[in-house]
Amino acid sequence: MSRKYFGTDGIRGRVGQYPINPDFCLRLGWAVGRVFAKRGPAHVIIGKDTRISGYMLESVLESGLVSAGADVSLIGPMPTPAIAYLTRTLRADAGIVISASHNPYYDNGIKFFDHLGNKLADDVELEIESQLGEDMVCVESDQLGRASRINDAAGRYIEFCKATVPRGFSLRGMRIVLDCAHGATYHVAPRVFEELGAQVEVIGANPNGVNINDGCGSTHPEMLREKVIERGADVGIAFDGDGDRVFMVDSAGRLLDGDELIYIIASHRQAQGTLGGGVVGTVMSNLGLQQALESQGIEFCRAKVGDRYVTEMLLNKGWLLGGETSGHVLCLDLASTGDAIVAALQALLPVVESSRSVAELVSGVIKLPQIMVNVKVPDPAAVAQSPALLSAISAKEAELAGRGRILVRASGTEPLLRVMVEGEDGSEVQGIADELAAVAQNQG
């Protein structure tokens, strides 16, 4: 049975438009409450990022949940991985995150975690969708859920982040610039790095409801690069709006994406004997990462794009480390989902222990030129399967003759067709990507 509302990362869309509107989200809260209340008294945690629409969606989800008999704990603006952590440690039945991650403020979404802090299983999502088709009926007054607020959520999560590095770990003497994307990490990330001893300068930490991801954060690292160079910082760290993606900038202003951070962490763990198997990337991971890891005897496998698919493959293989080029980094021995703060600390661990810079630690990766062109079309999935585009892809793959890769896919979170071309010759790669993008645009 296919899912009608749930995508690869919950339910997402334009605020005010179906399904991200008050009417649907009220019913969604009720449906979630009904599903989890079937298993006994239900307790659901709700967190959000800093979008102005979070207030509206939080209130209607709360109303829907309590009308179905579920108790609700509100924790306010907190990173997505913090909600996963708190859902698990507070013994809640489910966690809800109101966030559209790296998207602009006028988008929003609803993401879910189970009692272990993992993404919901497909059968639970289908059960929720089935419940949405039922008539909404409020429980009796004496069975209504109760709502309360958890006031120490930030402190709990900060201590968790600090506990993911060894007790003697210290960032004293290191100058770090943090870009919090005016998002959910704005009040917790600076404290984590300051309490670990770093000299921290913070940008992108003044959310006003509409500036999340606006010219800042991991999707727009230009300001961070300038600030790192200007301040002579050792490293810059950029988070996305909900705190599950991270990029870094070295002291020279060079951007390090998820592939390179995974390489730093994997290499260190391999040397320490703590890697616990191989590494899972995605079909978008740069071939240079694969080659660099395999040169160290580290097995590398590719999953579909989406951290839930990386997680599934890691669990199936019994491995611990994986992630995406976009900055999702999964350390399953430390967190159940991608955690930008935890990943940044793991990448800084070998810096502290070896006294080498991040630039030196990533020097073993030689990335092949990779071009990504995003094409805005009404129906990306249909365009991806159009005969004209498929024919053009086949022709260009023949031209590459094994010297590169082409991947064209519909985004799981935005109305975009993503055209990725990778190869040895940068100008050739750019030309192929532009030609395929033009064909896709004509089919839209």
Give the active site residues.
Answer: 101
- 415 contacts: CB under 8 Å, gap ≥ 6: 376, 377, 378, 380
- 413 contacts: CB under 8 Å, gap ≥ 6: 7, 8, 9, 12, 100, 101, 103, 109
| CA angle (191 as vertex; 161, 10 as ends), nearest 5 | 55
Tokens 């201590």, located at residue: 159
CA distance 406 to 37: 46
Q: Locate 178 and state its tokens.
A: 């943090």
Tokens 């995406």, located at residue: 324
- Is 438 strand, coil or helix? helix
The amino acid at residue 359 is A
What's the CA dihedral at 262, 264, 267, 268 to 10 degrees?
-120
Sign of CA dihedral 335, 337, 343, 344: negative
